[in-house]
Amino acid sequence: MKIYLEESSWSGWAKESEPKLNKYEYELISDVKNIVRIDHVSHIGAGGEPVHEDREAFSFTITEIQDDYVLIKTNMAMSEGDGGISLLSDETTFKIEKNKKLTLKTQTMDFGYIYTFELR
């Protein structure tokens, strides 16, 4: 079995824009951080000089592997489910069941990412 992951984005401002869909697959290995997305950030440093750096935006670690499910821990709180986004969730541990999809969304209002996991 492997974890199959689809990453897409959404925007509340650009209704006509088509989200980019990225697809990934991961081997079932416990306690290894899987970095899905890195953001490239630029800002002005303390001395006034430009600073460019990469920041881990989304990752997950498999914490438990069973015959019909795995548990993952994400690097930030996520909103679970296909409906609306819960801005108050503090959940970082999720269960991916075999042959079922798990949808996680970033907790933002105007733009965000949707991660759909499947174990098969």
Residue that has been written with the tokens 């670690």 in this structure: 61
* pLDDT tens digits in sequence order for the chain, 120 residues long: 999 999 998 887 776 767 789 999 999 999 999 999 999 999 999 999 999 999 999 999 999 999 999 999 999 999 998 877 788 899 999 999 999 999 999 998 888 999 999 999
Q: What is the pTM of this model?
A: 0.88
DSSP code string of 9-47: EEESS-TTPPPP-EEEEEE--BT-EEEEEEEEEEEE-TT
Q: Which residues pair with 50 in a beta bridge?
A: 44
What are the Cα distances from residue 48, in Å, to 42, 54, 115?
12, 19, 37
- Domain positions in the chain: 2-119
What does the alpha-carbon distance between residue 75 and residue 36 come to, in Å, rounded to a whole number?
Answer: 11
